[in-house]
Structure 1
Amino acid sequence: MRIESNLQALNAFSMRQAVTADNIANASTDGFRSREVVLETGPQDQGVQVADIRRRQESQAMDELRREQALNAETHGAQEPAAPSDTDLVRESVTMMENQRAYEANAAAIRAQDEMTGTFIDEMV
Structure 2
Amino acid sequence: MGKHLVGATSEILPGQRKIVTVEGITMGVFNVNGTYYAVKNSCPHQQAPLCVGKVSGTTLPSQPGEFLYGREGEILRCPWHGWEFDLTNGHSLFDPNRCWVKTYEVEVELPEEEQPKLETFPVSVEEERVMVSVHR
TM-score where L is the length of structure 2: 0.24
**Larger C-alpha radius of gyration, 1 or 2?**
2
Structure with more strand by fraction: 2
Structure scoring higher RCO (CA < 8 A, sep ≥ 6) equals: 1
Between Structure 1 and Structure 2, the one with more helix by share is 1
